[in-house]
A and B are shown apart, each in its own frame.
Chain A
Amino acid sequence: MSSRTSSPDFPPLYAERPEWSDVVPIPQNDEDANPIAPIFYTPEYKDATDYFRGIVKTGEKSKRVLELTESIIRLNPAHYSAWQYRYQTLLSTSSSLSDELTLMDTYATEFLKTYQVWHHRRLLLTLLHQPPSSPSPSSPTPTTTTSPTHTPTTTPPLPLQAELTFITSALRTDAKNYHTWAYRQWVLSHFSRPELWSGEISFVESMLDEDVRNNSAWHHRFFVVFASGVREGDEDREEVRRRELAYTKEKIALAPNNGSAWNYLRGILTHTHTPFATQADFVLPYTLPYPSPSQTEPLDKDVDVKMTDEDKDTDKDEKNSSPENTVVDLENPRPEAGADLPSPLAIEFMADIYEERGGKEDVLSAVELWKSLRDEHDTIRKNYWEFRINDALHPSR
């Protein structure tokens, strides 16, 4: 790269171009400077940034500045000053923001991991879809999102749908890219249009079908279902809770050592104020050394899982519907054959159930489970399990 000559790949240096001869390039350092930890720049990077410093000094914002900043960004997409100046120049020159967005499509896939690429898109989208009056989104409660005044008539819905499609394709290249996911969540919550939200559950399911361990996708599911408010069609929160529990448990059955799914299960229960103990029947088989054949009793006789009355109430449907029938229990899918059991995450969950109940014997049962994690199943976290034991036995500490 350093031994550049004129070639189709490299346009001439700005210093060699007559149309730039009016600009005084400014070198990064004073002549007598002796900086430590210097970077050795390529001639084209030094050239472009020298001219950029010259432009910033005069404050020029013109079409040619767009070319200059693009040159710098192509050489170093993390050059935030060039991005910042480019944005200001786009506004001053009334340039087409749609054209800029199209240019960004190629940048995003090329420079997937830089903050600036995604933030620049966000600035563009904000301006392109700014509603004439209100600069900020209002609360996405059912009343506002379904209210006719909220239906966008001034801006066409299509480009925003296209934005989600674009993000989906970017995620195909890098399924866990933090910026890409955060950007998708911003598009959804900032514009908060019903037609944008409507496809998200099936989108996230396709991502989880691809890789059930993709934690970014699980987080996105939580964002859509629970964290970002209640939208039309999802007002029956009890139904939503049931749906999410069923979905998550099915995914845990596929891969019982998947921390993402267990965390999501915890998330549902905490968010909906559902006691962990409601899941005791589900969790138990995952705490045992190998999957028990599905025809046998679901509860190991040695492990005494007592349901409180309150829990029984919550679980009435699933338990009373078929008291003897243990073969098909859709509410409590069992671990798939080939699972690595017991799952430390299940043991931890079961211990939390016992601790939540809080009786003296419950706490001792929890302690036994934590000891098994400490000594056998999750030894790297032995100090933490020891801490949990002490904390439960001496809560005053």
Chain B
Amino acid sequence: MTCRTDSFPTATSKEQARVEEILLQHRPPNDQPKPHLQRPEHLNYLLRNLRQGFPERFISQDCSQTWLVYWTLHSFSLLGVALDPETKQRAIDTIMACQHPDGGFGGGPGQAPHVLPTYAAISALASVGRAGPGGGWDQIDRLKLYKFFLSLKQRDGSFLVAHHSEVDVRGTYCLLCVAALLNLITPELIKGTAEFIASLQTYEGGFASASQPYFSPDGSGEEEEEVLLKEPRPALGEAHGGYTFCALASWVMLHPLLPLLSSSGTSSEQQPTINTRNLVRWLVQMQGSEAELGGFRGRTNKLVDACYSWWVGGAFNLLRPLGVGTRSATSVPTTSPPTTTPPKGEGKEEEDAWTDDDESLFNRAGLQEYILYAAQHKAGGLRDKPPKIADSYHTLYSLAGLASAQHNVFQVDETKEKLRAAWKPKEGDDPALDEFHKTVFAEARAWTEEVGGSNYVNGKVDRVNATHPIFNLTITHVRLIMNHFYAQE
């Protein structure tokens, strides 16, 4: 099926037709060998960025230095490559130079603290950091970080991304990830945030970047206190792949905590809800047709772009906690060994052939084809679409999308129960707060790669490591950093 213009061309359909023509040239003919993941080229590309750095046109990324590091480090992890101790130490030192004296991390040394680079910094430290002097983890000023986060909180449950800056659900997601990894989530921090997330869902089913709150004076009398109205609370901006991922991942983190919030008396309100059915429909509609090689777009009637391989393709793994998806998570899977094993690891008996019992909601083979055929740049690194050049952002999110198209990762109930049973409460902690921390920990740590559930469109040689559906770190890295900050195991 090619572009259906209905004999009524507009700017959108013309662009679409142009891109489909280019993409079709990248579909390998049936009698030709299929392109594989160009591991050596990508590794060279990543190494070059790490060692030689970036040319001056990357000044536009000067406030995303922690991101450049995170994108590069996690790409290495997905490709199954561990770095030498010296490079790791340089990475830790580079990140720690971005910590602000008032708490939080900036996009570079001497920059103001901002939630987004803070997420990238903590994620990078999860990849290469360690406990003890010089390891990064114990040099994070968690108390100041928590105060910084609280200072960004708005009356409608949302967060600014930085002081005097915008409200944006990317900020909510980044803040919750950091707080979950570092054991900083409290009822105070997240009160009203699930309601904010729910308000972002648009009529299309996906989520927008922010919403407009309205307040009315409380009718009850002397108090000047204004009350947040349930309606109207319109979404600002249309449904979008990046924001949808951030909203959904935030929702999956917050949802198990809502019953604990209401029982502790912090929220007497009815619990917020999202429309899962519309969400699923919107997510699957983001996948491009065969003419687009099965890549994902980020908005209705926009062009496919490899970064949505993760933002949209990766969102499917997050649907199971919402009760969507046919694969039962209650069955005991053959749990996987730590996932940072090199891709050539022999321990697994997966077949090279595509298995027929693929019960995913999206076309996993199609997404893999887009990444392998169109997103790889010959010179190394991955890109939005041909004929663009590669960049660090698209390299990571293409590889992460490839991971989510190859592997099933889901929360295993039994693992969750085991983690809860083995939980060691922190001395002196209030029991309600302890239950809260235990839940955050067990929910995040229960995500497991299903062994035997992986599929490779052109064979296992293209395998990348699985990635945690919420944090986009390897499952091993999540385990290590969370065990440290929750003082478990």
Interface residues of A (CB under 8 A from B): 1-2, 26, 28-30, 33-42, 45, 49, 53, 56, 75-76, 78-81, 83-85, 87-88, 115-116, 119, 122-123, 136-140, 175-176, 178, 181-182, 185-186, 189-190, 210-216, 218-219, 222-223, 226-229, 254-260, 263-264, 266-267, 270-271, 336-340, 343, 377-384, 387, 390, 397
Docked Cα-Cα span, A38 to B97, in Å, equals: 13
Please name all residues of chain B whose beta carbon is closer than 8 Å to the beta carbon of A377 when the two chains form the complex.
Answer: 1
Check B226–A28 contact: CB distance below 8 A.
Answer: no
| Closest 4 pairs between A and B when the two form their complex, measured CB to CB | A338-B7, A267-B203, A219-B238, A213-B12
Q: Among the listed B65, B69, B232, B363, which residue makes an inter-chain contact with A140, where contact means beta carbons less than 8 Å apart?
A: B232
Is B108 in the interface zone, CB < 8 Å from A? yes
Chain B residue at minimal CB-CB distance from A229? B232
- Which A residues are CB-close (under 8 A) to B240? 178
Interface residues of B in 384-405 (CB under 8 A from A): none
Among listed B54-62, B305-313, B413-421, interface-contacting one: B54-62
30 contacts between A and B (CB under 8 A): A2-B56, A29-B97, A36-B87, A37-B53, A37-B72, A38-B53, A49-B62, A53-B110, A76-B60, A76-B63, A78-B60, A78-B64, A84-B112, A138-B216, A182-B237, A212-B10, A213-B10, A216-B299, A219-B204, A227-B202, A259-B301, A263-B203, A336-B8, A339-B7, A339-B8, A377-B1, A379-B290, A380-B289, A384-B280, A387-B359
Asked if B232 and A397 sit within 8 Å, CB to CB, the answer is no
Given known A-B contacts A36-B87, A178-B209, A339-B7, A266 and B49 have beta carbons under 8 A apart: no
Q: Is there an interface contact between A254 and B234, defined as CB atoms closer than 8 Å?
A: no
Known: A28-B108, A53-B110, A211-B12. A381 touches B60 (CB 8 A): no
Nearest-CB distance from B348 to chain A (Å)? 24
User: Do the beta carbons of A271 and B302 come within 8 Å of each other?
Assistant: no
Q: Is the CB of A228 within 8 A of B234?
A: yes
Q: Is the CB of A56 within 8 A of B300?
A: no
**How distant is A117 from chain B, measured CB to nearest CB, in Å?**
11
Q: Give chain B's interface residues, CB within 8 Å of chain A.
A: 1, 4-8, 10-13, 49-51, 53-56, 58-65, 68-69, 72, 87, 90-91, 93-94, 97, 106-112, 114, 162-166, 168, 202-204, 208-210, 212, 214-216, 226, 229, 231-232, 234-240, 278, 280, 284-285, 287-290, 294, 299-302, 326, 358-363, 366
Pair B163/A38 contact, Cβ less than 8 Å: no
| B165 and A80 contact, CB distance less than 8 A | yes
Find the residue from B7, B62, B106 having the highest chain A CB count within 10 A.
B62
Complex Cα spacing A115 to B289, Å: 31
B226 CB contacts on chain A under 8 angstroms: 136
- Evaluate contact between A211 and B11: CB separation under 8 angstroms: yes
Write out the residue numbers on chain B whose beta carbons fall within 8 Å of the beta carbon of A263: 203-204, 300
Assess whether A37 is in contact with B49, with CB atoms less than 8 Å apart: yes
Look across to chain A and name the residue whose beta carbon is closest to the beta carbon of B289. Answer: A380
What are the residues of chain A within 8 A of B87 when measuring CB–CB? 36
Q: Do B203 and A336 touch (CB < 8 A)?
A: no
Cβ-defined contact, A40 with B212, below 8 A: no
Question: Closest approach, in angstroms, between the C-beta of A386 and any C-beta of chain B?
Answer: 8
Nearest chain B CB to A383 CB, angstrom units = 6
Out of B10, B58, B97, B290, name the residue touching A380 (CB < 8 Å).
B290
List, in ascending order, chain A residues with CB within 8 A of B288's CB.
380
For B6, the chain A residues whose CB sits under 8 A away are 254-258, 336, 338-340
Q: Which residues of A contact B69 (CB under 8 A)?
A: 36-37
Q: Which residues of B contact A136 (CB under 8 A)?
A: 214-215, 226
Residues of B contacting A270 in the complex (Cβ-Cβ under 8 angstroms):
203, 278
Across the interface, which residues of B come within 8 angstroms of A340, CB to CB? 4-7
Extra pairs beyond A33-B93, A37-B49, A212-B10 (15, CB < 8 Å): A28-B108, A37-B72, A38-B54, A75-B59, A78-B64, A81-B107, A84-B165, A182-B237, A213-B12, A215-B302, A228-B232, A257-B6, A271-B203, A384-B284, A397-B326
**Interchain CA distance A379-B300 in the complex, whole Å:** 18
**Cβ–Cβ contact B11 & A175, under 8 A:** yes
* Cβ distance A123 to chain B, nearest Cβ, rounded Å: 7
Q: How far apart are the CA atoms of A387 and B363 in the complex, in Å?
A: 12
Q: Chain B nearest CB: distance from A44 CB in Å?
A: 10
Query: Chain B residues with Cβ under 8 A from A176's Cβ?
Result: 299, 302
Which residues of chain B are near A190, meaning CB under 8 Å? Answer: 212
The answer to whether B62 touches A76 (Cβ under 8 A) is yes
Chain B residues within an 8 Å CB radius of A56: 110
Q: How far is the CB of A381 from chain B (nearest CB, A)?
A: 5
* Contact A211/B10 with A36-B91, A80-B107, A227-B234 known, Cβ cut-off 8 Å: yes
- Give the chain A neighbours of B284 by CB distance below 8 A: 381, 384
Q: Are B164 and A139 touching (Cβ within 8 A)?
A: no
Are B214 and A138 in contact (CB-based, < 8 A)?
yes
By a CB distance below 8 angstroms, the chain A residues around B62 are 39, 41, 45, 49, 76, 78-79
Contacts of B72 in A (CB 8 A): 37
B299 partner residues in chain A, CB cutoff 8 A? 176, 215-216
Q: How far is the CB of B104 from chain A (nearest CB, A)?
A: 12
Across the interface, which residues of B come within 8 angstroms of A186, CB to CB? 212, 236
Cα distance A137–B233 in the bound complex, in angstroms? 12
Q: List residues of chain B with CB within 8 A of the CB of A226.
A: 203
> Which A residues are CB-close (under 8 A) to B58?
39-40
B202 contact from A36, A222, A336, Cβ within 8 A: A222
CA distance A218 to B326 in the complex (A): 33
- The answer to whether A39 and B56 touch (CB under 8 A), given A80-B114, A260-B301, A384-B284, is yes
Q: When the two chains form their complex, are residues B215 and A119 in contact, meaning their CB atoms are under 8 A apart?
A: no
A29-B109, A84-B162, A270-B203 known; A140-B214 Cβ under 8 A:
yes
Contacts of A138 in B (CB 8 A): 214-216
Chain B residue with Cβ nearest A185: B236
Q: Which residue of A lies closest to B367 (CB)?
A: A380
Q: Which of B93, B97, B238, B326 contacts A387 (CB 8 A)?
A: B326
Q: Are the C-beta atoms of B214 and A137 separated by less than 8 Å?
A: yes
Question: How far is the CB of B64 from the nearest CB of chain A, in Å?
Answer: 8
Q: What residues of B have a CB within 8 angstroms of the CB of A210 in the complex?
A: 10-11
Q: Are A185 and B237 in contact (CB under 8 A)?
A: yes
Closest residue on chain B to residue A87 by CB atoms: B164
B249 to chain A, nearest CB (A): 19
Once bound together, how far apart are the Cα atoms of A218 and B10, in whole Å? 15
Contact A26 B56, beta carbon cutoff 8 Å? no
Complex CA gap A185/B233 in Å reads: 12
Q: What residues of chain B lie closer than 8 Å to A390, measured between beta carbons?
A: 326
In whole angstroms, how far apart are the Cα atoms of A223 and B239 in the complex? 12
